[in-house]
Each structure stands twice: as C-alpha cells, then as structure tokens.
Structure 1
Amino acid sequence: MRDQEPAAGHPGRRLSTKETAELLGVKPETVYAYVSRGQLGSRREPGGRGSTFDAEQVQALARRNRRESEGSSGGGDLSVRTRLTLIEKDRFSFRGVDAVELAERHSFEEVAEWLWTGRLSPGITFTAPAAAVTAARRAAGALPEHAGPTDRLRVAAVAAAAADPLRFDLSPDAVLGTARGLVPTLVAALPPFPRSHRDTGPMAHRLWARLSGREADEASLHALDTALGLLVDHDLAVSTLAVRLAASARAHPYAAVSAGLGVIEGPLHGAASGLAHRLLLDVLDQGTAAPVIADELRAGRRIPGLGHRLYPGEDPRARALFALLKDVPGAGPALAAARDIVATTARHTPLHANVDLALAVLTASSGMAATAGETIFAVARTAGWIAHAMEEYGERPLRIRPSGHYVGPKPPLPLPE
C-alpha cells in the first residue's frame, strides 16, 4: 500500500492494476478481461501511466468470486441438471452433438427440434397459428414508432399467450406444440420491409425479410440460418436462468419466454451485438480501429465484441460465423474492420473475438439496423428457452430457491419515528 493514501475500504480509494490483481488473486491481464466484460470499471488518472480501479468495487468482485468458488448451502438447489448444452475446452455441444457442426449442416428449425426432442427432423418447418399472429401483430402495432424489435417481441409473446386458451397445459406434447407456434409468431409480429412479406418457408428467410431491405443471396441466408442455430442455447446464461426460475414456478411457456425477453436487453447480454455493430460502423467510417478504440477507452467504456468468460480461447460460434462470412458478398470491409479491432485491442489485452462481433459483421454488411443482432439472438434463444422450460417442468416445483446473504443492520432496531 502506498503512503498517505486512505485504507482499501475508504471511499474514493483507487487501486493500481498490480494491487487489484493481488486482491483478486489473478494476473494483471485478467484484470483487464474483467474490465472488457463490464465487471470492473477503470479510470486513467491525469498524468498517470496506468489505469486505476475503485477499491470498493474490486473488493465486491473479490467477495463475489469467493462465494462462487466456495458455493452456497441451504435454501434449495443452486446447480441445475440439464441434458441440453455442455461447454468445455472452447467447444460446446447440444445433447452431446457438436453444436457448431450441427448448426452448419442443419437448419435452425432442425437444430431446435434436436434440442427439444433429441430427434432430428429433416426439412421441418414451423407454422404460426393464425389467431396468435393476428393478436401479436395488433399488439406490436400499437407500440410507439420508436419501439425497438425486442419491445415488439415481448408484447407479441404476451398477446400470443392471451390468444391461446391451452397455454396452461404443461404436458410435453402441449409445450412442444407451443414452441413450434411461438417462434414463427414472434417473427411474424416484426414489421417486414415493403418489398417482401414472407411468412412461409425457412425461418431464416422469414427473418431476413424483416431485418434487411436487400435481396438475400444464398451465402447470406446460410450465414443467418447458421447464426440462429449457433445461438439457440448456451447453457445457463442469465436470460435462461430467468426462464428456468419462471418454469420452476410453473409459469406457462409464453410467460417463461417473456422472462427471458425481459433480461436480454442488457448491454452485457443480448444487446451486446448492437454495441459491436456501432463500433464496427465507426471503424469503417474512420478507416482504422485505433482512434475508435482510443475514444472508447478514454470514455471508460469496454470494447464490445471481445472476450467471453466461458472461452479462454476463441469463441467457437464466432469462428464458425467468420468462416461463413468470407463468402458473403460485400462483407469484406466489415471483416477487415473486425480483424483490426481485435488486433488493436490485443496489444494490451489478449482477448479474442466473440459471437457478438461476428454477428455485427453480418448485420453491418447486410444493411441491417444495429438492433438486428439482438433480434436474431432473441428469436434463436426463444427455442432454447423453451427447451429449458420443458426440462424444468419435469423437475420438482420451486426447487431453485437460493438464500439471500443479508448484509444490512442487525435487528432488532427501534421502529422509525
């Protein structure tokens, strides 16, 4: 500890990178990884040569890391049994099958069916119930013009639920029927571009007509379809945990999906691809990543599209998408910009591109809005959420009940005046 500085717990105390790493028990490189993931904030002091960190925030992260490593007891199950997704050694699988190979070789609908049933159904398509589509479009159409796609999806899910009198039937066959109808209903609730109104055929084709005003080529459609398949599930992401909590309380599938949709708008989850999209456009506009990265860091913002807590190496979803994007007409400049972002940032922080950056290349090079990546994520993950809900319906109700760690004043206190 340096002389004449307040103690670590004193308000306003700033720690150096070295002190922060020692307190967290990690390498300095890992400290910057925490920054990139939004788990720590950093500030470069005037005249200083390195970043500094708020001591209280560092100590809170250290306590959280200790609790996660030591586990917690009592109050219910904190581990969730699942047969769906396994992530290990920079690879992930769906029901034991390599997820990347599955998404590359099969349509999004086929991947979803595999996740739901453990059976492959070649050529399967999903059909939205007419009553659900009418209700969803009416509800979504009543939103203000500035409402985003995720707003429309949330409202559409609620409206579709109200139109389904059988929504409370939680038997496996009933939930499977709901799943096959809800995914296309959500897509149908999104406004299409004037040139196209496709509500039949593969889901990737229907979704493209609502994300881009350009005619789709086969390479672009294959990239979008593969992205949907890759994003179907990713173990217990925060939105998936919300879905399982809802399903544990026996909320119907529409309500469980609504719980997931309520979580994904955070910049550290479903909305991350939109931040990467805007970053990518800035780099394309400037012609180089260096000034853009400098501006982000100067503003104290994390660099989106880099690093993933579950993958020390490269995100396999990003690797698969980047390979496909090489064949997409017009994607060359965005791919080069993405490589420039990674190379520029890697001078100090050894982070790889994640799926958000790859998704941003697809959306930016296809003339889509910055919100398109979040829409793709939400539509894909809806299938995974329902798979987790189906699993949870087979478990003991309300089994996921962690205990709070109370840190407030010790009772009894006198009643307030």
Structure 2
Amino acid sequence: MPGTTRGRAGLLATWSATRLVLLLCVLGVLVLPGPDVTTDVSVIYRGWYEVLRHGAFPLGDVTWQYPPAAALAVVAPGALPFLGYATAFFVLALLADLAVLCLLLRAGRGPGRSAGGAWVWTTGAAVLGPTLYARYDVMVTAVAVAALLAAARHPRAAGVLAGLGALLKVWPALLLVGVARRRTWGAAGLTVAVLTSVSALAAPGALAFLTSQRDRGTEIESLGALVFHLARRFGWSGRVLLRYGSVEFLGPYVDVVSAAALAVSGAALGWLLLWRLRARALAPHAVADAAFTAVLLLTTTSRVISPQYLVWLVGLGAVCRCFRQSAMRWPVGLVLAAAAATVLEFPVFFADVVASDPLGVALLLVRDGLLAAASLSAARRLWRATVPPAPEAPAPRRPAAAGLSPAGRGGRPATDR
C-alpha cells in the first residue's frame, strides 16, 4: 500500500542517516565531547583478541568478566583483517544493528502487528550515540531479538538462540521467564551445556566469569551510586576509582549499598518467580513483555548500569512494540527517554558525573529515575495483563427465619423429621 511503502521508506532513510552519523563518530570523523568511547574496542577488545586467538581466555585481565561465547564477538573482527581490528568491529556492529532492524520489520507485518518496533529501534538505539557500535552488546541484542521473535513458531530455535545469548552475556537467559514450552527450555539448556563443555575443553577458565565480579563495588552510574554522589556534597570520605573496566565508588558504606542492591535484585527475581507461578498461558506478545520487564528490573536494581545496557532494553522494548496488544507502550517510552539522557551522562558530561557536579548528578537522577519508573510501570502492567484476579468469596447465606424452613416461607410446608 502507498502509505505503508512511504512509511517504510522513511524508516529506512532515518536508519541510514542516523547510522551514518554513528559510523562517522566511531571512526573519528565526528567527535562528541567527553571521553573516547571507542577505546574499549581499540585497546581492551584488541588485547583480548590477541590472547584468544592463541587459544586461551584472558584470565589475567580483570576486565574480562564474560561468559565463554563472548570470545566469538571479540575474535569475529579477525575475519576482516584488511579493515584493521577496530574498523572491522564497527562494521560487524553495524551489520548486527541492521539484522535487528530487518527482524523487527518482518515481525511488524500482519494482523495485530505494528511497525512501531522498528521505529523504536531506529530512534532509540541512535540516541545512545556511538556507544551502540563501540561495545559488543548490539550483537548480543541481535541474538536476543531473534530468540524472542522465534519463540512462538520455532520453540527449539528460540531455545538455542537464548542459550547462545546467555553464553554471550548472561542476561538473555531472562528471555525464558515467560516461556512455558519444554522444547525451548530443553534446547536452551542443551546449548549452554554443549558450548560450555566445548569452551572448557578448548581453553581453561571458561567459567571464571561466575566469580569474576564478586568483589565489585557500586558503579557511579547506578541507582545506588546516587547515595554517594549526594554524600560527597556533605564530606563523604570515599573516592572514585577505575576497577573491573568501570568507574566505581570505594569507601565507607559502599559495601552496604552494594549488598542492598543485591538484595533488591533478589527481591525482583522473587517477584518474577511469583508472577510466573500466578500467570496464565502467555500469548507471544506477553512473552516479549515478560522478557522486557525481567531485564528492565534486573538492570535497574544492578550495582552497575553501564550505558550499553540501554541497548538491551531498547531492543527488547522494540520487540514488545511489534505487537499491538503489548502492555509496554508507556514503559518503553520511558526507556527511550532514559536512552536520550544516557548519551548526555556518557560520554558528553561524564566528567561532571565523575566529579559529582550538580549537572552530572541531575542527569543521573533523571536517567535512573526514568528507569525506576519504567520498571515499576512494566511490573504493574505485566501483572495486570497476565495474572487473573482472585475469585471473589461467595456471599454468606442468610439464616432462615425461626421456626420456618425456606420452603415454609410461601412454599411447601416443611415436613417433620
């Protein structure tokens, strides 16, 4: 139809224009204020690549905190040696971005579907800025989007993709929270078992990621970090330090706040378990809503909220918006607003965030406040849309009048017993 064709042409034009700008940013042609976001690729990822290509995990590097399949994303640029490592990585990230768009465009066709998902991805991922192409999270998100969209018609394929995603960066395991099919769970479990075994045999240290982050503190962009940003204004004696590849608070009471964050994340997992026990059979749109809600809750309550985490949320939110019946329209909108705030706090005004200056703290209050509001709204909407209300208790029976049976009040006389 002409309107649909024009709409798709406008979408593709918007995607192309915004991605050209992002490529120019990561290639250094355009420069945003703040730190260079591409150093993770050109320095850290490249260093891991040199170790991994020789058949070992970079266990001596404290910044390596990832499941074994993450090695696939790190070594993949080696397939394009003529481009150089960093440029090849950016090209692969662009292709993953394009794959997400194609999946969403296809999913948005047909009755009950919407092109809104493709628009959410096109705009939401773009406003995150060059971080989209300077981390391997866009590749993980492509796998997660494919898994969610396959869940209804191809349950085994969905399980394989979810298992692969979990071994790329753990969080895609939450995609299964709304899936009831045993074939999907079985395929996911088998994929994890096989890939983990192969990785462990190929190189030692495949499971080191399970304990690599136990000593982490509170990252300065997290919700809990707002306590210390404000406390610094009143003489708190802690400090900011680069640890485990992110900037964290260290000092008095940091362990308390970190433990509290873990407790809140545990409570969120408990709520998800309760919801799953109470929810009725879930339609495809509800499975997507559940995955988005689960990842949103665990991201918001985490000790670490890195800018690239928003890539996950935008991708899952885009899947939700492919379904007209999705209950996540408002939470997804809040996540898009949080994405716009994220590019301001990193990289543009990151120095203000590190220094706990008023501008930096205000940006974090806005971004983390939007994520918290989105989490509460998503949880409430998911529960109301999928959990049947408790049955009403029957009204108590009124006692019969003295000396009369029900039949004795205008009916047959009660017989003596």
TM-score by length of 1: 0.22
TM-score by length of 2: 0.22
Structure having the larger proportion of residues in helix: 2
Which has the larger Rg?
2
